[in-house]
Homo-oligomer: A and B are copies of this chain.
Amino acid sequence: MKILTTGGTIDKIYFDANSEFQVGDSPLHECLLEANVTFDYSIESVLKKDSLEITEADRQQLRQKVAEATESRILVTHGTDTMVDTAVALAGIAGKTIVLTGAMQPARLRFTDAIFNIGYAVATLQLLGEGVYIAMNGQVFDPANVRKNLAGQRFEPVRPG
């Protein structure tokens, strides 16, 4: 399994020096150590951005990373605001299962959805076939039919089915 991190809330760290939460080194590795997982994985930091700042060029760079990976299963951690856009931009890469996940609260908070989401996304990645999926709020979504409900702090289908 290849894990590509791009920043977003899940990776945010508080920097006292400027009184801001900013994207920092991803907690993915620590999280997987804490969970005592026994599958093989490697982690690569592709971007460190709030997802609102991710550009089309960034998405093409990410797509290239996915296409070039020797692994067939790719987990992408990503900010939630434009996660759907990135998922759409990753469509159609032959031979790859790609799952995007993130969090509404940074992984380093005492209360966070990040750890559950990572566990959920890992299983989704292992079990689903070729394609691109969004794993959030304990559900798997098709990127073509999902939006972030900002007020509700959740992902939901565009057309409930």
Contacts and interface: CB of A to CB of B under 8 A. Distances in A.
Interface of A: 9, 12, 14, 16-17, 19-21, 31-32, 34-39, 50, 52, 79-81, 104-106, 108-113, 115-124, 126-128, 135, 137-140, 150-151, 153-156
Contacts of A123: 119-124, 127, 135, 138, 140
Given A34-B112, A120-B120, A153-B36, A52 B105 contact: no
Nearest to A27: B110
Q: 6 smallest A-B Cβ distances: which pairs?
A: A119-B119, A37-B138, A35-B116, A123-B123, A116-B119, A21-B21
Given A14-B12, A105-B14, A109-B110, A140 B126 contact: yes
A38 B141 CA distance: 12
Copies of this chain, complex-wide, total: 4
Contacts of A81: 19
A117 B35 contact: yes
B106 A137 contact: no
Contacts of A104: 16, 36
Contacts of A115: 115-116, 119
A122 to B, nearest CB: 6
8 contacts: A14-B109, A16-B105, A32-B138, A35-B137, A119-B121, A119-B138, A120-B120, A123-B127
